[in-house]
Structure 1
Amino acid sequence: MPLAKLYLTDLRTRMRGLKTLGEGAMQQLGDNDWHTALAEEGNSAAVLVQHLSGNMHSRWAALRSGYREGQDGESAGRNRDAEFEERTLSAPELWTLWNAGWAAFLDAIDHLSPADLMRPLTIRGEAHTVLEACQRQVAHYSGHVYQLILLTKTLRGTGWQTLSVARGQSAAFNAAMFSKEERQKPT
């Protein structure tokens, strides 16, 4: 498989996995948790969702049906500062924002071709290749999703349901994975 095609396949898989991780955390939030920050200048889950959605729409909505030269990854109507203001959105409204933002991003990357990766794309007038813009967003979105996980884990305390291998369970997990691998080998 050519490298560019492999990259796009991996990007699509990993970003959908990141979305799933974020959803696993958000499903554990109580109604009163959405607007709770861990520090005075910290972001609540609601603010993180607002910002991610705003960024995804700004950067990727114009590319939902495929690459178009001349697009800037900062839409003229975006009010980034407002994304960081605590509003009184309900959990269903925040889920709607989350899903709409991810839909814009995932639709855009699903429409990218290997040839698009070397094409130009600007973000706030700064030149990137599409590949660089994708990598920029992988780092950005991962950072915020892991903030969301840390925030939720802290708020849930002992009620937190792990989204990965549970503490003390690595050996059992690895044994199960190796056993599964052995069962899948051709005989």
Structure 2
Amino acid sequence: MDIYNLIFVQLISKFEEIRDTMKKGIDQLDDNELNFRPNYESNTIANLVVHIEGNINQRIGTGIHGYQDIRSRSDEFNRELYVSKDDLLNRIDDSFNFLIDNVKELHNEDLLRKIDVRGKEKSIYEVLQQCATHYSEHLGQILYITKICRGSSYNLTSIHKKTY
């Protein structure tokens, strides 16, 4: 396997892991818990999922493909936003499938192609690495809110409980 194929496999694997872990956390909650705000300054899980969706559409659709940018970042963090569990799970599947499908379609030379991100030139590889980091950070927030809501009934998403 050459280095480019290794990079593509790693990126796809990381995005699949983030998507699947996010869904495992969300599956444990009801609509009200998914829209619960731990405090005034915090986001809800719904806000975070809508934000990730907007980021994927902007970075991949607008950044890589040149689609018109229709993102409204401020709407992603609207305090009145209320999204159902089913809608959140669909948004996760749709946005991450869009991301993963687009990574699968990239060619080796695309990784070094420069695109504009907030007025700075970045390679597509840099953008995808930044996305993986960004979504992982928000995944941590999602799982933390899930733990707050579930307490001792929280089901681990990445480590299996040992039975002795």
Offset of residue 60 of structure 1 = 1.0
Letter aligned with residue 152 of structure 1: T
Quick check: 1:130 aligned with 2:124?
Answer: yes
Offset of residue 104 of structure 1 = 2.0
**2:69 corresponding residue in structure 1:** 76
Letter aligned with residue 58 of structure 2: S
SS in 1 for 2:116: strand
Quick check: 1:28 aligned with 2:28?
Answer: yes
Aligned equivalents of 1:94, 1:166: Cα separation in 2 = 25
**2:3 corresponding residue in structure 1:** 3
Stretch of structure 1 that moved more, 89-98 or 134-143: 89-98
Pairwise CA RMSD = 2.1
SS in 1 for 2:121: strand
Quick check: 1:56 aligned with 2:56?
Answer: yes
Offset of residue 31 of structure 1 = 2.6
Are the equivalent residues in 1 in contact too, given 2:47–2:77 (CA < 8 A)?
A: yes
From the CA coordinates, give the structure whose radius of gyration is larger: 1
Aligned equivalents of 2:36, 2:7: Cα separation in 1 = 37
Aligned equivalents of 1:84, 1:141: Cα separation in 2 = 16
Quick check: 1:108 aligned with 2:102?
Answer: yes
**1:18 corresponding residue in structure 2:** 18
Offset of residue 42 of structure 1 = 0.3
Letter aligned with residue 78 of structure 1: R
- Identity percentage of aligned residues: 25
**1:89 corresponding residue in structure 2:** 83
Aligned equivalents of 1:23, 1:154: Cα separation in 2 = 17
Are the equivalent residues in 1 in contact too, given 2:19–2:93 (CA < 8 A)?
A: no
**2:111 corresponding residue in structure 1:** 117
**2:149 corresponding residue in structure 1:** 155
Structure with larger RCO (C-alpha < 8 A, sep 6+)? 2
Number of residue pairs aligned between Structure 1 and Structure 2: 163
Letter aligned with residue 127 of structure 1: E
Are the equivalent residues in 2 in contact too, given 1:61–1:108 (CA < 8 A)?
A: no
Aligned equivalents of 1:162, 1:130: Cα separation in 2 = 33
**2:159 corresponding residue in structure 1:** 165
Offset of residue 12 of structure 1 = 0.5
Offset of residue 127 of structure 1 = 0.3
Q: C-alpha offsets along residues 119-151 of structure 1, whole Å, 9 cap, x if unaligned? A: 111112310011111111011011111110111
Q: Which 4+ stretches in 1 moved above 4 angstroms?
A: none
Q: 1:8 to 1:77 in 2, by over 3 A?
A: same
Aligned equivalents of 1:37, 1:88: Cα separation in 2 = 11
Q: Which runs of 5+ in 1 are unaligned?
A: 173-187
Offset of residue 166 of structure 1 = 4.4
Are the equivalent residues in 1 in contact too, given 2:34–2:46 (CA < 8 A)?
A: yes
Q: Which runs of 5+ in 2 are unaligned?
A: none
Aligned equivalents of 1:11, 1:94: Cα separation in 2 = 23
SS in 1 for 2:146: helix
